[in-house]
Amino acid sequence: MSEFLTKSRARNIFYGGSLFFIGIFAVLSIDSHLYVVNESTSKAELTDEVVLGKHVWEKHACINCHTLHGEGAYFAPEVGNVMTRWGVLDDPDDAAETLGSWMEAQPSRIEGRRQMPFFDLTKEEVRGLSEFLRWADKTNTQDWPPNDAG
Amino acid sequence: MKYSSQKVAYAYFVAALGLFAIQVLGGLLAGWIYVAPNFLSELLPFNIVRMLHTNALIVWLLLGFFGAAYFIIPEESEREIHSVKLAYIQLIILVVGTLGAVVSYIMGIHEGREFLEQPLWVKVGILVAALIFLFNISMTVLKGRKTAITNILVIGLWALSLLWLFAFYNPDNLSLDKMYWWYVVHLWVEGTWELVMASILGFLMLKLTGVDREVIEKWLYIIVATALFSGILGTGHHYYWIGLPGYWQWIGSVFSTLEVIPFFLMMTFSFVMVWKGRKNHPNKAALLWSLGSATVAFFGAGVWGFLHTLHGVNFYSHGTQITAAHGHLAFFGAYVALNLAVFTYAMPMLKGRNPYNQVLNMGSFWLMTGGMSFMTFVLTFAGTIQTHMQRVVGEDFMSVQDQLTVFYIMRFGAGAAVVIGALLFIYSLLVPRKELFTETSGSKPVTGSSPEAQAVLEGGR
Ligand code: HEM
Ligand code: HEM
Ligand SMILES: [Fe+2]
């Protein structure tokens, strides 16, 4: 490398440039935060049931088998659009009922098929979960996933 | 070894190696569950096994970094570590936290965000340990000689510890949760950890090749500049489909493409240094791991990262086995191999012996690197088919997975090779006191009193 780029110049470029990009990232983060709150997730209300559902989701580490909006483990199906796949997106009661019977039917114990564990959930917890998944399904995810298979 | 306090690194490295064994065995078990899904399904379900696998990985890499810092900083700063006692207290906190986490995962106690499942008390423990560490090394560095290597290392470690604070922030709004979650995950591996990697690689090159410090340090600043200039806005490649604004599709695609540059530079840097260097350091295994790390990191992070980073591609490949393929080769090349390079370099000095046993160690390099590469290929094939069948054709997840069994069997085979390689590596560092295979041709092995052996024991000439 040439004489122009001395070590101390390189160091100063590193410091200055990094601060510059941190600054831009901070501004875009604030804008994105507001966009999430005011636009992409504003169609469905963030109710207490949804929050309870998120806690149930976390308590059982569902993310370590499933993906949610495409993030997580790749062992089990995407659930960010499961309510659409089941056709119950706009019917809270039907959604909770369908999810409840699904959860109760686990594990399938079918030989050679991936197993989902049984989770001992209360009625409120099931309702919370289905509300959480309905809420997530209504988020504007820039039209992802490409189809209902998730 | 020039400073007696460098010895603390030994305890860190041994703890890291123990967790490394747990990590790959956990991975092998997870891989087996893919092949035989009913195995242990009611005792130890897949999600718990996966948590053990990924968390053990992250913690042992951090232990390795901490140990490496305690090894490198005295030599660079030309003074003893500020407090050896604090260094051991820090290690005890980390080991207790880790064992606590393992036990609680098995009992089903954990938080619920991927990679950040540690119970709150363990998270706090990690924070406390990080603070002790930062205090300890900062005091050492401030009082000693300042070099670019320590400067970059310390900036990287401070920044990654600060980002850890976001592990404590879990908003109720899922999209916000995900947005800040990446502050830890992406800004670690594609930002701050790259600083740590570059400085450790710089140190190894300095010692192994004997190239002028001025040259190495200028390279380092250029590498880390390109890492942060691309990596910070490159976070956008995770912001395409989780409820964030559409402009991330362009920002993420452009800047994450640029993320290939620092990995390319690190690879070029290593080879140029070896080319220019006149020194013939006897620890050949350490050199192999260093060059291997820079090269595999370029392929795993650079090439396999670019493969699915453009938003038009990622729309289809997001969250498939392609992601798993990339995650494996990137982590292995950049951070696993780099840690193993430092261990290989430092262990002979820490144990006060010749660089035994190089043949076994180099064999383990090829087993592990071969295994991880093969695993990456088969997962990439599986992911390509999955992407087509599920995302383009629209066939449902479970029936597509049923058609991928052959790839998962091969992945398990590759994993078995990696496990054997890892155990061989651990054995070769800790157990043999002599070279097991004597040379049949070429130069004769170094003996205890030869100048080469002396050079190894003292950390290079
Ligand atoms: C014995 C060899 C290994 C096997 C058989 C193995 C297997 C697995 C499996 C089955 C998963 C879960 C994927 C899923 O969610 O469907 C996984 C995840 C993961 N493993 Fe491994 N693994 C091995 C070694 C490693 C090594 C050496 C590393 C680090 C270099 C590593 C890093 C990871 C990471 C980062 C994830 C999470 C990936 C993601 O979320 O994209 N594994 N592994
Ligand atoms: C050593 C550096 C890197 C490591 C350790 C790493 C590791 C990972 C891991 C573990 C994931 C999966 C995260 C999850 O569970 O959701 C991931 C995702 C991803 N990485 Fe990397 N990565 C590195 C560098 C890069 C680079 C340089 C690029 C781009 C050129 C890149 C592009 C991506 C993309 C686009 C995804 C998202 C995949 C998806 O949509 O499912 N990575 N990376
Ligand atoms: Fe990333």
Ligand nearest to the CA of B37: 1
pLDDT for res A137:
98
pLDDT for res B453:
52
- B220 vs B414: CA distance, rounded Å: 34
DSSP-assigned letter for residue B78: T
Give the Cβ contact number of residue B1 at 10 Å.
20
Q: How many CB pairs under 8 A join A and B?
A: 206
Q: Do A51 and B172 touch (CB under 8 A)?
A: yes
pLDDT for res A1:
52
pLDDT for res B258:
98
Beta-carbon contacts of residue B303 (< 8 Å; ≥ 6 apart): B260
Give the start-to-end residue ranges of the domains of chain B.
Answer: 1-145
Contacts of A18 in chain B (CB under 8 A): 225, 228-229, 232
pLDDT for res B431:
87
How many CA atoms lie within 13 Å of B137's alpha carbon, on the beta-carbon side?
30
**Beta carbons of B338 and B200 less than 8 angstroms apart:** yes
- Point out the residues of chain B with pLDDT beneath 50: 440-450, 460-461
pLDDT for res B457:
54
Q: Do A41 and B175 touch (CB under 8 A)?
A: yes
Most informative mutation of B195, B197, B233, B237 for ligand 2 (most atoms within 8 A of CB): B237
Q: Do B176 and A150 touch (CB under 8 A)?
A: no
pLDDT for res B437:
62
Most informative mutation of B53, B57, B409 for ligand 1 (most atoms within 8 A of CB): B53
Q: Which of B214, B247, B319 sits opposite A70 (nearest CB)?
A: B319
Mean pLDDT by 10 residues, chain A (150 residues): 81 97 98 98 96 98 98 98 97 97 96 96 98 98 97
Q: Chain B: give the shortest CA distance to residue A24, in Å.
A: 8
DSSP character string of B383-450: HHHHIIIIIII---HHHHHHTTHHHHHHHHHHHHHHHHHHHHHHHHHHS-SS-SS--SSSSPPP-TTS
Q: What is the mean pLDDT of chain B?
A: 94
| ipTM at complex level | 0.97
Contacts of B119 in chain A (CB under 8 A): none
